[in-house]
Amino acid sequence: MTYCEQGPAERVPHDARGRVAELHALHEQARNGPGERATKAQHAKGKLTARERIGLLLDQGSFTEVEPLRRHRASGFGLEARRPYTDGVVTGWGLVHGRTVFVYAHDFRIFGGALGESHAAKIHKIMDMALAAGAPLVSLNDGAGARIQEGVVALAGYGGIFHRNTRASGVIPQISVMLGPCAGGAAYSPALTDFVFMVRDTSQMFITGPDVVRAVTGEKITQNGLGGADVHSEISGVSHFAYDDEQTCLDDVRYLLSLLPGNNRERPPTVPTTDPVDRRCDRLLDLVPADGKKPYDVCEVIEEIADHGEFMEVQERWATNVVCALARLGGEVVGVVANQPRSLAGVLDVHASEKAARFVQHCDAFNIPLLTLLDVPGFLPGVGQEHGGIIRHGAKLLYAYCNATVPRIQLILRKAYGGAYIVMDSRSVGADLSYAWPTNEIAVMGAEGAAHVIFRKEIAAADDPEAMRARMVKEYKSELMHPYYAAERGLVDDVIDPGETRAVLIRSFAMLHTKQADLPPRKHGNPPQ
């Protein structure tokens, strides 16, 4: 084998076979990364390598890598002596359930997954490719933030990612999977995407780490206590899903992708179902108590009407008084927003309004029809809620529904009181169809409160105020809160047998499948913040 000069210290084979052999060797070196010792260190932390994660995410053998031989060109601080292939991020595309998905995965074994100029350029390229191809983008995040040795160019690299996240928002699904400690800029990109997945104990997100917090404020806290999976899935609402291990997490990423379209010009994939579309749901008659004061689990209602009882709840542990979920009805994907009576009686508050509003916006962006299951006693009263901006946050949900052009069906299970009834996709804000069960109570407020306001003087002047109060409550209910009051006035399209709910909904969504709706010409709206 003969060689020719290439650079001051490198020699390459001169003949074609030799060069092909060298090419394979370089690709093998890029695939192996920094070596077995670094891989063992990654595994010792309970974490998989970047390529192992990609292997779990994508269909077997479908991954095509982009720029595996990229290396940084920085110098100083010893960087010129360390120029590993891939530069700490693996990028490319593959298939999930036979559909194209783009992916990038930080390799923590190389520079701790920190982002430098070349590292960022690879991510920019794959993001641009995903947007051009109209396919989802999944980021597998396990990086230590900006590469300090490269200075401002690393920060500029993050800026390019943020810009592309924003441009792709509502155009292609973007999913961030947090699989290690991600601080500073590494946490902001996931916050701009549609869904955030986290793994307990191994993944954290924070803008400033525990050391900085302690130095500035004196507060002592661990990484998990500051920004772990449970913190972000229960307290901050940053994380949509939390898991105990990486494989289960990536399995659910695959499942979520099966429910989403490739881009905003497509509909979600239809899956043939063996669950009869006209299956009766008589169990619903017992699930929801007629007594509006008795709680129940609305997830059981969703389970009863969904194909094979399957649905994927989003942000299950945050703002638990409202449920947001993706399910299939007759093989078609729908987004479900439902009040949860077993948590704060299903009232709307600041967090529930935010959670539901963003879910509605996501469904509308990606052509996912909306089903709203209503059992709401109103907005949560209190100084804390008012000072926390319940007006502003409640308006977010109102804006999201009013702005949505996808098929929208409202189903009133039981209570529907006051402004919360209007906000939860009533006919007056644009729902295409509104159905109610015979147990529905649609009113400005509950009968007891209404009677106290309307008949306050009569009750006070009565010889037996309690008997008068009871009589007035009964009168108010019979006049304004009977199940057919709204139907008689066209505010509800029909009062239906709960057992027929699944069949009615599937027929109705099928009719709305070809719905066309246009918004007024504008650059963009100015939603409440």
Provide the 3-class DSSP secondary structure of residue 139. strand
The answer to whether 55 is a known catalytic residue is: no
Q: Do residue 416 and residue 323 come from a single domain?
A: yes
Residues 233 and 144 placed together within one structural domain of the fold: yes
Q: Look at residue 455 and tell me if it is in a domain.
A: no
Spatial separation of the C-alpha atoms in residues 109 and 41, rounded to whole Å: 8
Are both 219 and 303 inside the same structural domain? no
From the list 185, 292, 394, 446, the catalytic residue is: 185
Parent domain of 155: 36-259
The confidence score (pLDDT) of residue 7 equals: 42
C-alpha 307/C-alpha 145 separation (Å) is 42
486 among known catalytic residues: no
9-16 LR contacts (CB < 8 Å, sep 24+): none
In the residue annotation, 7 being an active-site residue is answered as: no
What secondary structure letter does DSSP report for 348?
B
**159/217 same-domain check:** yes
Q: Determine how β-strand 3-6 pairs with β-strand 174-178.
A: unpaired
Q: Which of 259, 293, 328 is the last residue of a domain?
A: 259
Q: Are 222 and 320 contained in the same domain? A: no
Which member of 130, 144, 420, 436 is catalytic?
A: 420
| Claim to verify: residue 40 and residue 103 sit in the same structural domain | yes
Chain position carrying tokens 């009719």: 511
Same domain, 297 and 220: no
State the virtual CA torsion across 160, 165, 167, 168 in degrees, nearest 10: 140
Number of domains in the chain: 2
CA of residue 31 relative to chain centroid, distance: 32
Q: How far is CA 130 from CA 58, 116, 123, 124, 138, in A?
A: 15, 21, 11, 10, 10
In a domain, 29, yes or no: no
| Of the candidates 271, 276, 267, the residue with the CA atom closest to the CA atom of residue 255 | 271
Domain membership flag for residue 152: yes
Q: Answer with the one of 209, 244, 259 that is the final residue of a domain.
A: 259
| Catalytic hit among 184, 331, 388, 389 | 184
Q: Does residue 21 sit within a domain?
A: no
Backbone angles phi, psi at 376, to 5 degrees: -130, 125
Burial 157-178 (b: 16+ CB within 10 A, else e): bbeebeebbeebbbebbbbbbb
Ramachandran bin of 394, using left for φ above 0, alpha for ψ from -120 to 50, beta for the remaining angles: alpha
112, 209, 237, 419: the catalytic one is 419
Q: pLDDT 10s digit of each residue in the chain, 529 long?
A: 333 333 444 556 678 888 888 888 887 877 887 878 888 988 999 999 999 999 999 999 999 999 887 876 765 666 666 677 777 899 999 999 999 999 999 998 887 777 887 888 999 999 999 999 999 999 999 987 777 666 787 788 889 999 999 999 999 999 999 999 888 778 889 999 999 999 999 999 998 888 888 888 888 999 899 999 999 999 999 999 999 999 999 999 999 999 999 999 999 999 999 999 999 999 999 999 988 889 999 999 999 999 999 999 999 999 999 999 999 999 999 999 999 999 999 999 999 999 999 999 999 999 999 999 999 999 999 999 999 999 999 999 999 999 999 999 999 999 998 889 999 999 999 999 999 999 888 876 666 666 666 767 777 777 777 777 777 777 676 666 667 888 888 889 999 999 999 999 999 999 999 999 888 899 888 989 8
Position 364 in a domain = yes
Q: Quick one: 159 and 291 in the same domain?
A: no
What's residue 2's pLDDT?
37
Specify the pLDDT at position 31: 83
| Three-state DSSP string of 59-111 | CCCCCEEECCCCCCCCCCCCHHHCCCHHHHEEEEEEEECCEEEEEEEECCCCH
Q: Are residues 243 and 193 in the same domain?
A: yes
The enclosing domain of 406 has a CATH number of 3.90.226.10
Dihedrals φ, ψ of 104, to 5°? -135, 145
**Predicted local distance difference test score (pLDDT) of residue 468:** 73
- Residues 158 and 99 occupy one common structural domain: yes
227 & 333 share domain: no
What was the pLDDT predicted at 79?
64
Residue 12 in any domain: the answer is no
Q: Is 420 a catalytic residue?
A: yes
Residues 111 and 234 in one domain: yes
Using a cut of 0.85, tell me whether the model's pTM lies above it: yes
Instruction: Please say whether the beta carbons of 395 and 356 come within 8 A.
Output: no
Assess if residue 523 is contained within a domain.
Answer: no
Considering the domain boundaries, does residue 466 fall inside one?
no
Please state the φ and ψ torsions of residue 374, each to the nearest 5 degrees. Answer: -110, 125
